[in-house]
Structure 1
Amino acid sequence: MHQGAECIGEHENLRTAAQMMRDLSVGSLPICGDDDRLKGIITDRDIVIKCCAEGKDLDRTIAGELARGLVWCEAGSSVEEALEKMEQHQIKRLPVIEKHRIVGMVSEADLAKELPDNKLAEFVHRLYAPA
């Protein structure tokens, strides 16, 4: 898990989201509300497909409009539980929540570093297998 995930505010625009992704060298950001609670996730692909390709204005489209994927795991979850959620929902990034606040993200890269090769291969096969 990457600890200390930075959120984009649900009312911030997509240009800010894209700049944050660039500055943090990440491909996704959790979207948090004014209450500091997770509202969803936005990816670099979401910005391109759902904003740029649709002709929307990066400065006028807010992150909350693209909030999706409210799937997470608790901080005390096992690796197997996290893998199961990622496989079940066909997602590559999973927010980690503790006491109703985001404390990190699990990504494919994290798994690649930590899992034995056979377990990683099984996960990748299940994640990318046609539904």
Structure 2
Amino acid sequence: MTTAADIMTPGAQWIPVTETLDRAAQLMRELNVGALPVSDTNERMCGILTDRDIVVKCIAAGHDPSQVTAGDLAQGTPRWISSESGVDEILDEMGGHQIRRLPVIDENKRLVGMISEADLARELGDDQLADFVARVYA
């Protein structure tokens, strides 16, 4: 069985809720990613920050990214999946919540990777991929 650990891009990193958005953007550039999970002071995920969030909710709204924190934009219930979860569970989680990036957590609740649309495109058959796209972009 193919698991989340098989599909994910390993090496995902947290960004603390207290970190500024300008630093978040720099970290995204360094890691060549478009999203970072946001961790609270107890290193528990409290949201995901995307490059689009920084642009739309901060810069375009006239705010200074050096004064706004990742925690200011972390909203909603964070979604994640176990590294042992199968493809159907991954697709249900991402499709059911219409999300494009999914953090992967190991049995010790540590962040071990991230699953993106690109990861799924490499691993899924055409029918599964079409179903995923229809659910996420519906």
TM-score bracket for this pair, using the shorter chain length: over 0.9
Alignment length (residue pairs): 129
Q: Which amino acid aligns with 1:40?
A: G
Identical columns (%): 53
Q: Which amino acid aligns with 1:76?
A: E
- Say if 1:29 and 1:43, in contact at 8 Å, map to a contact too: yes
Among 42, 48, 51, the residue aligned to 1:44: 51
Query: Any gaps of 5 or more consecutive residues in structure 1?
Result: none
SS at match of 2:119: helix
TM norm structure 2: 0.89
Among 15, 20, 39, the residue aligned to 2:22: 15
CA drift of 1:33 comes to: 2.1
Query: Any gaps of 5 or more consecutive residues in structure 2?
Result: 1-7
SS at match of 2:96: helix
Q: Which runs of 4+ in 1 moved over 3 A?
A: none
TM norm structure 1: 0.93
| Counterpart position of 1:72 | 80
CA drift of 1:75 comes to: 1.4
| Counterpart position of 2:124 | 115
Q: Is the counterpart of residue 101 in structure 1 residue 110 in structure 2?
A: yes
Q: CA RMSD in A?
A: 1.1
Q: Which amino acid aligns with 1:6?
A: Q
- Say if 1:37 and 1:102, in contact at 8 Å, map to a contact too: no
The structure showing larger relative contact order (alpha-carbon pairs under 8 Å, at least 6 residues apart) is 2
